[in-house]
């Protein structure tokens, strides 16, 4: 703790600012830290004073010494310092109309730390009085940018179904937002919209986003609406060509879970059987085994991958053929018999033989050379 406190005298204000933010998280040592932070209220940089007020708000809301010091600095030259002091002194377990208005003003503030602090206080209020808070949060969405919008979205996300009336306005934020904002929109609509009527169009739009992280968030959101998976087959098929291997894997996992309902994506899945990423490749092969009744393209692809140089690929192919063979053994048995003649790995040979036996075909014993 002492090294941090000493760093408050560092000539670089950015160092001092970082230290203040760190000290504001040490609730266990608040009795030692609060007097130090009170002294830092006189720092020469407004940015450091802003952070100091918020740190005192986290540690010393019930401290008479902290409250008295904040009141003495209520006329600070910096408007954000003054706003932070009002925010800290006005925060309490029960919020009146003035307190709620102050929180909303602070959430819309361009200072990220102030906005985030206010949003944390607003979350509990929004859960207690959603009807009172929701219209005001919607107004911020319409008029604010940057951190204010992001923090409103976080508050709305925590409100879940109570924020459902705001879904149309949340969706309108998406095309105007930066990647970070678009991710928050996706998280908000997915948390709030139980049926998906507003969320699914946003997710489909995001699956074609130019930003990889946004596409990743959209892919993660698809699972929420898996009961309406048919709406995602086409956009997920396009996502199978994503330049990011993990995104391809997630898209493929969704389609795999749909089984034959994802038949429209078969050409793209077949191509992934040759993907440079081994995990994607084996998942694609596994997915081909889910198409019952079997598709000709799937059978043709598996007849090729069973001879792949990679042992793992061959094993996954055998498992996929086993799945298809339960439905159409006559299509699968010849492929397995041909592979058995060429396979040199003893354990893989055993796997092929076991699969053939399950499908009702006992292979002829291998003749040994005399």
- When pLDDT is averaged across residues 104-132 and rounded to a whole number, the result is 78
Q: What is the pLDDT of residue 366?
A: 57
Q: What percent of the chain has pLDDT over 70?
A: 93
Q: How confident is the model at residue 127 (pLDDT cuts 50, 70, 90)?
A: low
Whether 224 and 199 have beta carbons less than 8 Å apart is answered as: yes
Question: Is the predicted pLDDT of residue 25 greater than 50, yes or no?
Answer: yes
Q: What is the pLDDT of residue 369?
A: 46
| 364: helix, strand or coil | coil
**Cα 97 versus chain centre, distance:** 34
**Domain covering 91-239: architecture:** Alpha Horseshoe (1.25)
Of 68, 150, 160, 70, the C-alpha closest to 114 is 150
For 171-213, what is each residue's pLDDT tens digit?
Answer: 999 999 999 999 999 999 999 999 999 999 999 999 999 999 9
Question: Is the predicted pLDDT of residue 235 greater than 90, yes or no?
Answer: yes
Q: What is the pLDDT of residue 267?
A: 94
For 162-182, what is each residue's pLDDT tens digit?
Answer: 899 999 999 999 999 999 999
Q: For the purposes of burial, counting CB atoms within 10 Å of the CB of 75, is it exposed (0-12), middle (13-18) or buried (19 or more)? A: exposed
DSSP state of 207: T
For 136-169, what is each residue's pLDDT tens digit?
Answer: 888 878 876 666 788 889 888 888 888 999 999 9
For 63-92, what is each residue's pLDDT tens digit?
Answer: 889 999 999 999 999 999 999 999 888 854
- When pLDDT is averaged across residues 287-303 and rounded to a whole number, the result is 89
- Phi, psi torsion values for 111, nearest 5 degrees: -80, 120
Question: Is the predicted pLDDT of residue 32 greater than 80, yes or no?
Answer: yes
> How many C-alpha atoms does 85 have within 13 Å on its Cβ side?
21
Q: What is the pLDDT of residue 146?
A: 64
Q: What percent of the chain has pLDDT over 90?
A: 63
Pick the CATH number of 251-370 from 1.10.1130.10, 3.40.640.10, 1.25.10.10, 3.30.565.10: 1.25.10.10
User: Which helix or strand (DSSP H or E) is residue 143 part of?
Assistant: helix 130-143
Residue ranges covered by each domain of the chain? 1-89, 91-239, 251-370
- When pLDDT is averaged across residues 264-288 and rounded to a whole number, the result is 96
| Identical topology for domains 1-89 and 251-370 | yes
Question: Is the predicted pLDDT of residue 368 greater than 60, yes or no?
Answer: no
Cβ neighbours of 100 (radius 10 Å): 18
Q: How confident is the model at residue 133 (pLDDT cuts 50, 70, 90)?
A: confident
Instruction: Round the average pLDDT of the chain to a whole number and report it.
Output: 89
Of 111, 167, 73, the C-alpha closest to 119 is 111
Q: How confident is the model at residue 300 (pLDDT cuts 50, 70, 90)?
A: very high
1-89 placed in CATH 1.10.238.10: no
């Amino acid at each position: 703790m002492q090294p941090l406190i000493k760093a408050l005298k560092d000539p670089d204000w950015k160092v001092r600012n970082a230290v203040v933010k760190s000290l504001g998280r040490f609730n266990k040592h608040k009795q030692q830290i609060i007097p130090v932070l009170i002294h830092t209220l006189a720092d020469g940089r407004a940015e450091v004073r802003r952070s100091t007020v918020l740190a005192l708000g986290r540690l010393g809301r019930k401290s008479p010494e902290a409250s008295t010091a904040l009141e003495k600095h209520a006329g600070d030259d910096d408007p954000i310092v003054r706003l932070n002091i009002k925010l800290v002194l006005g925060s309490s377990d029960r919020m009146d109309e003035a307190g709620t208005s102050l929180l909303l003003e602070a959430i819309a503030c361009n200072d990220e730390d102030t906005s985030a602090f206010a949003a944390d206080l607003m979350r509990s209020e929004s859960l207690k009085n959603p009807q009172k808070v929701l219209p005001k949060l919607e107004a911020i969405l319409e008029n604010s940018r940057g951190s204010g919008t992001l923090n409103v979205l976080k508050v709305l996300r925590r409100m879940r179904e109570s924020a459902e009336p705001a879904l149309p306005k949340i969706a309108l934020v998406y095309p105007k937002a930066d990647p970070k904002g678009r991710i928050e929109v996706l998280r908000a609509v997915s948390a709030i919209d139980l049926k998906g009527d507003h969320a699914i169009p946003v997710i489909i739009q995001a699956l074609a986003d130019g930003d990889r992280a946004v596409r990743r968030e959209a892919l993660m959101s698809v699972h929420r609406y898996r009961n309406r998976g048919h709406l995602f087959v086409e956009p997920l098929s396009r996502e199978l060509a994503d330049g990011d291997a993990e995104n391809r894997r997630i898209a493929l996992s969704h389609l795999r879970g749909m089984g034959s309902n994802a038949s429209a994506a078969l050409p793209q899945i077949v191509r992934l059987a040759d993907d440079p990423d081994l995990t994607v490749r084996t998942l694609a092969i596994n997915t081909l085994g889910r198409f019952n009744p079997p598709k000709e393209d799937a059978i043709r692809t598996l007849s090729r991958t069973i001879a792949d140089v990679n042992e793992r690929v061959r094993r996954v192919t055998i498992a996929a053929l086993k799945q298809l063979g339960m439905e159409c053994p006559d299509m699968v048995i010849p492929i397995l018999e041909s592979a058995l003649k060429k396979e040199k790995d003893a354990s893989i040979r055993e796997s092929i033989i076991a699969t053939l036996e399950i499908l009702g075909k006992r292979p002829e014993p291998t003749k040994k050379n005399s």
